[in-house]
């Protein structure tokens, strides 16, 4: 079994200064990059983490022009959410108010690829979202696919559909765009150069990962804590967290990563803290007996992720995160950087 190492950011303050200095000089003088591969299943929060890195280390989303690019994405998230809720209400045979039935039909027929919501749609979107049947459907959101930002944006439809709307940074961070293909960014931090790759998380995207595997410094694997009662977008019969477990096992035991440090993010901690109060973890793991206790549930999930590792020497560094919280990501990245340097120091014989 591998060794799971949970590190607090403060623990890195007392690192050996000389080792750090020698390692930095090696990387700076040889023009090396620290190469990070961001992996995880679909909708785990990988792309949100990437947006935070862009914000923190690339000073992104400052100009109106740059933020305007997300306007259609965010309005598209609203349409996607309202259509998903209408479809689910039909599936669950939950009736809507009589005056909203025709409105629901009209919204359902809109093509999300070609149609962008505008101020003229405000009244009917709000009518559907406030319908008691739709609210009852929303309460059963773990039983169908609904993006995490649905309530955030639907509660703020008036602002978002205003003709003069310009997305703010929080809107951008919460917005959802499915990752297809491979995206990368390069950035400098603390006199070190980084390159970070984000690849599509859905099953049909994973075959493309092979192109990123060689010479990677660290794998950053993101899994969602809060989706233990939800199914995959691409296969409604498969539990999201169990799919994530299988993928993590595959990554850790891959020949490509035998010498690679792996940093595991237990993401969406904020949603998990709320959900575990009312939804027992046993809905997914029958042998779980910790009830609705947050710490018990978190420890159980952490242990699940390392119990099947075949590489006894593999060290897994873990962090509990909320990728939509910029300050949280900022602090965690400091710890990530030091974790990577520590691992590199061992590989290069400094410790």
Active-site position among 43, 148, 338, 342: 43
Residue reference for tokens 């593999």: 314
Catalytic residue (choose from 9, 83, 90, 202):
202
Residue 43 is a catalytic residue = yes
Is residue 190 marked as binding? no
Tell me whether residue 201 is annotated as binding: yes
For this structure, is 180 an active site residue? no
The CA distance from 55 to 52, in Å, is: 5
Q: Is 48 annotated as a binding residue?
A: yes
268 is in an annotated binding site: yes
Catalytic residue list contains 240: no
Binding site annotation covers 323? yes
47 is in an annotated binding site: yes
Rounded Cα distance between 178 and 202, Å, is 9
Across 111-122, b (16+ Cβ under 10 Å) vs e yields eeeeeebeeebe
198 tagged catalytic: yes
198 is in an annotated binding site: yes
CA distances, 60 to each of 54, 64, 102 (Å): 6, 11, 42
H, E, C per residue of 95-151 = CCCHHHHHHHHHHHCCCCCCCCCCHHHHHHHHHHHCCHHHHHHHCCHHHCCCCCCHH
C-alpha pair distances (Å), 242 with each of 22, 68, 221, 237, 238:
42, 37, 15, 11, 7
155 appears as a binding residue in the annotation: no
Q: 349 a known binding residue?
A: no
Q: Active site includes 202?
A: yes
Q: Which one of 75, 141, 176, 240 is the catalytic residue?
A: 176
Give the pair of three-digit tokens for residue 235: 């296969």
Specify the pairing of strand 192-199 against strand 182-189. Answer: antiparallel
164 is in an annotated binding site: no
Q: Is 43 part of any known ligand binding site?
A: yes
Query: Does 45 appear as a known binding residue?
Result: yes
Cα separation, 332 vs 265, in Å, equals 10
Q: Which of 198, 243, 280, 342 is catalytic?
A: 198
Residues annotated within the binding site for Mg(2+) are: 47, 179
Residues annotated within the binding site are: 43-48, 179, 198-202, 267-270, 323
Which amino acids are annotated catalytic?
43, 48, 176, 198, 202
Residues annotated within the binding site for GTP are: 43-48, 198-202, 267-270, 323
């Amino acid at each position: 079994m591998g060794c799971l190492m949970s590190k607090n950011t403060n623990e890195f303050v007392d690192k050996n200064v000389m080792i750090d200095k020698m390692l930095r000089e090696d990387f700076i003088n040889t023009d090396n990059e620290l190469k990070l591969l961001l992996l995880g299943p679909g909708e785990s929060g990988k792309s949100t983490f990437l947006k935070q890195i862009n914000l923190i280390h690339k000073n992104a989303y400052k100009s109106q022009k740059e933020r305007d690019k997300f306007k259609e994405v965010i309005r598209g998230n609203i349409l996607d959410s309202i259509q998903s809720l209408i479809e689910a209400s039909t599936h669950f045979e939950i009736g809507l108010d009589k005056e909203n039935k025709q409105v629901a039909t009209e919204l359902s027929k809109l093509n999300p690829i070609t149609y962008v919501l505008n101020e003229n749609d405000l009244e009917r979107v709000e009518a559907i979202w406030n319908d008691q049947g739709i609210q009852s459907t929303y309460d059963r959101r773990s039983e169908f696919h609904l993006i995490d930002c649905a309530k955030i944006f639907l509660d703020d439809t008036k602002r978002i559909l205003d003709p003069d709307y310009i997305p703010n940074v929080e809107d951008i961070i919460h917005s959802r765009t499915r990752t297809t293909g491979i995206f990368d960014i390069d950035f400098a931090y603390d006199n070190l150069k980084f390159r970070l790759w984000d690849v599509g998380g859905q099953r049909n995207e994973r075959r493309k990962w092979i192109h990123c595997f060689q010479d990677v410094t660290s794998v950053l694997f993101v899994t969602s804590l809060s989706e233990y009662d939800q199914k995959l977008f691409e296969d409604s019969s498969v539990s999201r967290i169990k799919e994530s477990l299988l993928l993590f096992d595959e990554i850790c035991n891959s020949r490509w990563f035998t010498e690679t440090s792996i940093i595991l993010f237990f993401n969406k901690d904020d949603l998990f803290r709320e959900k575990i109060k009312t939804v027992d973890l046993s809905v997914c793991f029958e042998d779980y007996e910790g009830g609705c206790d947050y710490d018990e549930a978190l420890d159980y999930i952490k242990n699940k992720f390392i119990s099947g590792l075949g590489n006894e020497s593999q060290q897994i560094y873990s962090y509990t995160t909320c990728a939509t919280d910029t300050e949280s990501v900022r602090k965690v990245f400091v710890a990530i950087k030091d974790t990577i340097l520590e691992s590199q120091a061992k590989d290069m014989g400094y410790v």
